[in-house]
A and B are shown apart, each in its own frame.
Chain A
Amino acid sequence: MKNFYRKVAFGLGPDDKTPSDPLKWATNQLNDIPEFSWKGKILPEKELRKYYRDYVYGDRKVLRKKFKNDKDGYKREKNKLRHATGQKFWWNLELCIRYSEALKSETPVLAKLWYFWGNHFAISEKDFLAQYTTGAYQREVIRANMNQNFEKMAQEATIGWSMIHHLDNEQNIGPKSQEARWAREKGKTKGVNENHARELLELHTVSPDCGYTQEDVIQMAYIMSGWRPKWGKKRLETGDVHFNPDAHEPGNKIVLGKKYKSGRKSLSVAITDLVSHPSCRKFIAMKLCRYLITDNPTEEMMEPIIKAWEKSDGFLPEVHKAAIEVAFNYSDKYNKFQNPENWLLQMSKMADVDLIPSPSFMDLYKLGNKPIRDQRALEYLMDELGQHPYLAKQPNGWSDISEDWMSPELLIRRLVYAREAYYKKSGKSQTPEFYEEMIEKNYDNSGEILKIIDQHRELVHKHVILFNLPETLKS
């Protein structure tokens, strides 16, 4: 049962008391969205998007022209521009905010689910989204909606600037729209871009199990045509998202058999219909089980989550509670392979690793300067572990399936960074007694584990073994 603390959160830290009612301990964390536990600076998405603009504008419109014959000069000035816009700093600050929720907050269960949703509505590696705005998107669009209905999160994520840009909806132009006609007059063709529509169906809501066709995807894309950032000569693609009727495909559209009228309102109506589709709740229930419990969830596992969804109309706190309860009921039977990020946080929490730079240290950063190495520690570390949360390779996010994390290099990283982490611990946690107590608190088979790690004398080796035992890799 003790793996439950590691399964739905990151285990119990040295200051955490063992809860008398573990299930209640977990579900009590899911009702509200508390303030961030990070005490340093937190910037709104809009402000970060301005820095994004300053960078792409400066590069594309200024430097490329100015240094067209000077490769080295171009590189040098581009680097200056990176620092002038905080390109190497902001995502490190975001990682501090993100990991504080796992390690320093009263709501680690909520944090683990936050990471789930951020990855569900993933913004993968594209342009400079990761460096400037993905972290803020995950705060303002994802986490802020974790005490709302799923529908609200889906609505806001879909027309969020990050997602629209990420999935190219700014290039989605109705072939019969006014803009397409203007383009034709100039001998150009403009048409539909299906990316965003397909991912809305496939990854974000109903999934291919619902049986939509390619025609449904195109029709959905027509509904979405015209939703894009307000273009401006100076702001380029970084303007707020709005609905531009000139790019919208006229006429009725039909998705999954239902008719939608032309115009601005249809997207929101279509999303309401998609999230109410039985395939959507089943898909989300499956993904929650896959994230928390096992690579291959059963119908029995999903059922209570689907029921809770139906009863509450997709109210996320209820859906989350149901998922946590299922994880509790199956905690003895199933162990879930932990992705590198969750593994790192688990180790940091239980072994009291000083993972996150302090707020005052991060706030020393001055725009225009190159951040110092220790301010960038988290970025390097996540890259080295093979899972930077803002750099998923594909719009389907990082994989929840253990096989995808099985490679020699990825396991080597766990060995070497377990050891590195040991040296970031305070002296008081570098004692055999500390480890005995921690293992007792967090593992059901503490006797067996102690016996294994006692085969090595040095504490650092015990630490490396513990965090690479199957019991830890799979929680």
Chain B
Amino acid sequence: MKISRRNFLKGSATTLFLAGFNFPVLANTDKKKNLVVIMLRGGMDGLCAVPIIGDKNFEKKRKDLILDETIKLNSDFALHPKLMNFYNLWQNNLGAIVHATNIPYTKRSHFDGQNLMETGGHIPYSIKTGWLGRGMKLAELKGDGLALALPMPLLLRGIPSNDNFYPSKKRLPRTELLQLLKSVYADKSEHDLANMMEIIANRSMMNNGGTSMSRKNSSLAFKAGLELKKINGPRVAVFEVDGFDTHAAQGGVNGSHSDSLIEMDSIFKSLEKGLGSEIENTLVLTLTEFGRTIKQNGGRGTEHGYGSAIFMAGGLLKKSQVYTDWPGLKRKELFEGRDLNSTIDARSVYASAMSTVFDIDFKRIQKEVFWGDELINLSDKLFKS
């Protein structure tokens, strides 16, 4: 099949045009909704995860990296065959993809790109808080964030008192000792410390006698799912997956890029397991600093690129769909002649997601979290209100 951008737009995938009138999302306060962000570090290759079907340019440029036996999602896009958990979600209208998208960062440094994907800004290091933290502050969600990591990710900075979970390999001291410290903290008016010790003491009771907990993302995700499910539990969770920077031996179905994608896929599965029916009120999104070059390099890997894809999961999605304004893969359609272009500012997706999950008018998020940047409200297209 030979597709040009024009006839593609008439094809099966819905395109994202200016949404016309944006009605503010109506506040819906009777249920607790959750937002999960999975950071994919190193530059996730959207064309490896969600390859285009039947594009000669694509097949020619990376002939050693083309995957066999992909899963067909629609007439134009397929899914990496190892992403079976995501595919299960997709089949139940719980999975969707935004393709040819990226944050507005066009250089190719991980270091700067990862900073910008977390701050949502334009100039590396100029912003010291994360877009998610600022969104939570706007929604007054103090104490509602959970990071599945040891240092608090920059993404969540901007609102205090976030929780984190990244189990220590050593056992906690006995509960009486924790209680003693808690009362000392309270006596000395050390309220922050007392609050933390309260959380720790509760955890220690839960885990007594349990086996030592794994730090694998699949285990962390199950735990996070259980926490998000609780009516007074956290409302936001953040994961990190490393290893997408595959300059060499990126390989096909069993290559190194697949290993990282499989790890991401395991998060979807465990989250669903932990959340149970609350997956219905949850939205999961991925975030990466850039995609990868279309052309394979001399080491059968790929270099740093531009446009990538966002995986979305959960019951707050409208339906299973690949959303894109496909830019095409001919040389003149590529960014700087080498990368998949980005036709959708990824921040539009994140701002819309926060608007939906936090029940805040999109325009307020646009203005107060993203400095009034030109973003499009996609809430009604992508998500259930």
A contacts, CB < 8 Å to B: 60, 63-65, 67-71, 74, 126, 168, 194-195, 198-199, 202, 384, 386, 393-396, 402-404, 406-413, 415-417, 419-420, 452, 455-456, 461, 464-465, 468-470, 473
Contacts and interface: CB of A to CB of B under 8 A. Distances in A.
B184 interface: yes
B299 A464 contact: no
B23 interface: no
Nearest to A406: B192
B177 interface: yes
Contacts of B247: 60, 64
Given A68-B248, A68-B298, A417 B193 contact: no
Contact of A195 (B112, B160, B166, B177): B112
Interface of B: 64, 109, 111-112, 115, 123-126, 128, 147, 150-152, 154, 160-166, 168-174, 176-178, 180-181, 184-185, 188, 190, 192-193, 196-197, 199-200, 203, 247-249, 251, 254-256, 298-301
Contacts of B166: 409
A416 B168 contact: yes
Given A64-B299, A407-B163, A407-B196, A395 B125 contact: yes
B168 A406 contact: no
Contacts of A456: 176-177, 180
16 contacts: A64-B298, A67-B249, A70-B249, A71-B255, A403-B192, A406-B161, A406-B193, A407-B147, A408-B196, A416-B168, A419-B173, A461-B173, A461-B177, A465-B177, A470-B184, A470-B190
B360 to A, nearest CB: 24
A416 B164 contact: no
A415 B200 contact: yes
Pick from A403, A412, A413, A473 the residue with the most CB of B within 10 Å.
Answer: A412
A199 to B, nearest CB: 7
A65 B299 contact: yes
B173 A416 contact: yes
B352 to A, nearest CB: 28
A464 B200 contact: no
A396 B125 contact: yes
Given A71-B255, A195-B124, A384-B168, A403 B160 contact: yes
B191 to A, nearest CB: 11
B162 A67 contact: no
Given A68-B300, A195-B124, 12 more contacts: A64-B249, A67-B248, A68-B248, A68-B249, A71-B251, A202-B125, A406-B196, A408-B199, A409-B164, A411-B193, A464-B177, A469-B181
Given A67-B249, A126-B111, A396-B125, A415 B173 contact: yes
A464 B173 contact: yes
Nearest to B185: A470
Nearest to B147: A407
A71 B112 contact: no
A123 B170 CA distance: 30
A409 B152 CA distance: 10
Contact of B168 (A394, A413, A469): A413
Contacts of B177: 456, 461, 464-465
Nearest to B254: A71
Contacts of B125: 195, 198-199, 202, 394-396
A74 B248 CA distance: 8
Nearest to B194: A470
Pick from B109, B166, B185, B188 the residue with the most CB of A within 10 Å.
Answer: B166
Nearest to B114: A393
Nearest to A456: B177
A63 B152 CA distance: 35
Nearest to A468: B181
B256 A470 contact: no
B249 A407 contact: no
Contacts of A198: 123, 125-126
B196 A416 contact: no
A394 B121 CA distance: 15
A180 B185 CA distance: 60
B249 A416 contact: no
Nearest to A413: B168
B193 A470 contact: yes
A394 B150 contact: no
A144 to B, nearest CB: 27
A417 B170 contact: yes
A393 B151 contact: yes
A403 B192 CA distance: 9
B248 A63 contact: yes
Contacts of B300: 68-69
Contact of A393 (B123, B154, B162, B171): B154
B298 A407 contact: no
B62 to A, nearest CB: 13
Nearest to A453: B180
Contacts of A68: 248-249, 298-301
A473 B190 CA distance: 11
A197 to B, nearest CB: 12
Pick from A395, A402, A409, A473 the residue with the most CB of B within 10 Å.
Answer: A409
A168 B109 CA distance: 9
Contact of B193 (A195, A199, A473): A473
B89 to A, nearest CB: 27
Nearest to A455: B180
Contact of A404 (B111, B152, B170, B190): B152
Nearest to B189: A470
Contact of A411 (B123, B151, B160, B197): B197
Nearest to B192: A406
A92 B186 CA distance: 39
A204 to B, nearest CB: 12
